[in-house]
Each structure stands twice: as C-alpha cells, then as structure tokens.
Amino acid sequence: MKLNLGSYKDVPDFIYGITRAIWEDRGIGAKLQDYYAADILLRAATGFTGTNAGVTAQTLQTLHQFPDRQLVGEDVIWTGYEDGTFLSSHRLTSVMRHTGDGALGKAHGKMVRSRVIADCWVRDQMVVEEWLVRDQAAFANCLGIEPRAMAQEMTNRDIRNGRPVSFFTPAHDKPSQYKAMIQDDEAVAAVVHGMQRIWQDKETQAIRDLYFAGAVLHAPGGESRYGHADIDTFVLGYLASFPDAVLKIETARVNRDPHQPVRVAVRWSLTGSHSGYGHFGEPTGAPVYVMAISHFNLTSNKVTADYMVTDEVSIWKQIQAHVASHAPVGSP
C-alpha cells in the first residue's frame, strides 16, 4: 500500500497540514481547490454540499463570524487501503471569538470552544468525500443561548426566507463510492458490541461492561460526564427522546500506536421518531436522524475516554421543522 501524501510525512501530518493551510493560513478557496475535489460530497449534520464552491462559501461564512478561529488538532485515526486511498477521522476543537454577524445571529464577542470530528476519504492528496459533525450546542452554550433557542431562530429564518429548513438526512445524500467497513479487531468488536447493546437494544447495563469505572464521556454541548451513573443519565436522555431509534454503525476502525491508548473511531447514526420525553423535551412525533462520530480510547478493551460528537442544534431543527409543517394555517 503506497499513499500519495506529497511533502507530508504521514497521514496525521497531511490532515493537520491541509487544515492549517485552509483555515489559519487563510488559503481558503485556493487551498480548497488544491485539496478538495470539485465534486466533493460533503455530508455535515447541518446539510449536504456537493461542490467545492459550496465548501468555499461555507468556509468564508464561518471565518466572517469567527475571524480568529484556531483549529486545535486532538487526534487523527486513519486507515489506508490497497487502492492508495485512505480514510481519516480528525478530531479537533475550534477556539474562536464570535465577532461577526451571521447564521448564529448578532455577534456576541464571546469566546467559543466546540469539538468537531471530520471523516475524510482521500485519494491522491484530494478529499473526495467527507462526513462532518460540529457540536453546535457547545456554540450555543458558550454564547449563553439555549441550543433549542438557537435552532428555533435558525428554523424561523429559513422559513421567513422561503428556504427549506437546513439539516442533513440520508434522503439528502448522493451515492458514495467509499465502501464502508467495520475493521476486524478485538477492540473494535468490543466497542461495536457495546454500542449495539446500549443504543440498539436499549440495555444501558452494557455501559458497565464497555466503560471503565472512571471513564469520561465528552458529550455534546461541551459537557463531560464521569463514571457509569453519569454516562447512563446522558444516554437515557437520548434513548427516552427516541425510544424507537435504530442504530446504524457506518464505519469502525482502530489505530494502535506506541505510547498511546488503543484508539477506535466509529461513525454511526440513530434514526427514529421524537416520541418520548427526554433530552429533547416534549415529544412531537418528528422523524429524526442523529448523525454521530465518536472516538474511543481503550485500555484492555475498556473505554477510558469517549469523545462523542452530535449536532443537537441540527436535531432540534428537525423537530422544529416538523412542528412548523404541521401547524394550522395562519398560526403564529
């Protein structure tokens, strides 16, 4: 297996390097043309983009709102393939000040810290497909806004402007050339089995089997949950909101590097209906798609740290769009 990485020494160096070139070094459109395919398939929890020009426009909008944005790379978990392509899962935290008006409303001048995980399928130094989840609930919390309220303002704006409310579901997608896989490995098997018991079978007892007693879950909203009981409470909030949710594990793979814990990356989703009281409030019956990416650190096949990223603002938008579409004509 030979990977074309140009002047970069390895896959993490490539991912960190092109991210810096696009964002902090302000390469923006020119570097996106260098490193992103013209017909890139970008699936973000906020919506689908099928062109390089669309990605450039979104990047400019983000930088207008957060011109000092720093992308602090935390980890890259990757897999290479015999055809010379590779899939990377890049976890980072955005550290930035909200100084420009935009999709998040009027500039607040406040510091924002939000975790992001992006899975990129790369061929010959070119990202051809990407799956991206940003923790927009952390954006909201840092700005002193309830994630539900931020979502409502975004939903209202889309409706006022005659646009479809923006979020991603599989119905918005285009066919992928990437062949998703679950890697054959004991750590991957332990994580996948535990996730199936927790999220599919709704057996939260499995938390005690999968997670170390002192494990930390870095949860959406910029929150951290510690230990079995705290993690259990968080999980129940999601399961109670979407009791019929079906789990789909898209990809799962492992990196084993010296002087590091075993690291497993999983891209997964929940598809169900907002039919119960839980983390997302009073049930509405809305169909909901939860796009998620998680990074797990393991020791002896027990999770010691779980970095779970979902976009709760986009989940709220799905719920609010459903409510708005079923409101009586002429209601406020």
The answer to the question of residue 203 being in a domain is yes
pTM value is 0.96
Q: What is the mean pLDDT of the chain?
A: 95
Note the pLDDT tens digit of each residue in 269-328. 999 999 999 999 999 999 999 999 999 999 999 999 999 999 999 999 999 999 999 877
pLDDT at 329: 55
* Closest by CA position to 249, among listed 271, 232, 266: 266
**For the residues 128-146, what does the mean pLDDT come to?**
97
Residue where one domain finishes, among candidates 172, 202, 226: 172
Overall number of domains in the chain: 2
Query: Is residue 179 included in any domain, yes or no?
Result: no
Question: What is the CATH number for 236?
Answer: 3.10.450.50
Q: What local confidence, expressed as pLDDT, does residue 105 receive?
A: 82
Q: How far apart are CA 168 and CA 155, in angstroms?
A: 14
DSSP 201-244: S--TTHHHHHEEEEEEEEETTTEEEEHHHHHHHHHHHHHHHSTT
Q: What is the pLDDT of residues 236-253, one digit of tens each?
A: 999 999 999 999 999 999
Same domain, 78 and 198: no
DSSP secondary structure string for all residues of 293-321: EEEEEEETTEEEEEEEEE-HHHHHHHHHH
The answer to whether residues 189 and 204 touch, using CB atoms and an 8 Å cutoff, is: no
| Residue-level pLDDT at 21 | 95
Res. 99: pLDDT tops 90: yes
3-state secondary structure of 39: strand
Each residue's pLDDT tens digit, 225-235: 999 999 999 99
Q: How far, in Å, CA of 47 to CA of 53, rounded?
A: 15
256 and 220 part of one domain: yes
Cβ neighbours of residue 168 under 8 Å, at least 6 residues apart?
A: 43, 44, 45, 46, 47, 48, 289, 291, 314
Looking at the structure, tell me whether residues 19 and 82 fall in a common domain. yes
172, 197, 232 - which closes a domain: 172
The domain boundary, picked from 139, 172, 205, lies at 172
Q: How confident is the model at residue 332 (pLDDT cuts 50, 70, 90)?
A: low
Confidence (pLDDT) at 104: 82
pLDDT band of 206, cuts 50, 70, 90: very high
In the chain the beta strands, taken as DSSP E runs, fall at 36-44, 47-49, 70-80, 86-97, 111-123, 126-134, 211-219, 223-226, 246-255, 262-273, 287-299, 302-310
Whether 164 is covered by a domain: the verdict is: yes
- Give the mean model confidence (pLDDT) for residues 153-177: 95
Domain encompassing residue 227: 186-325
At 330 the pLDDT is 55
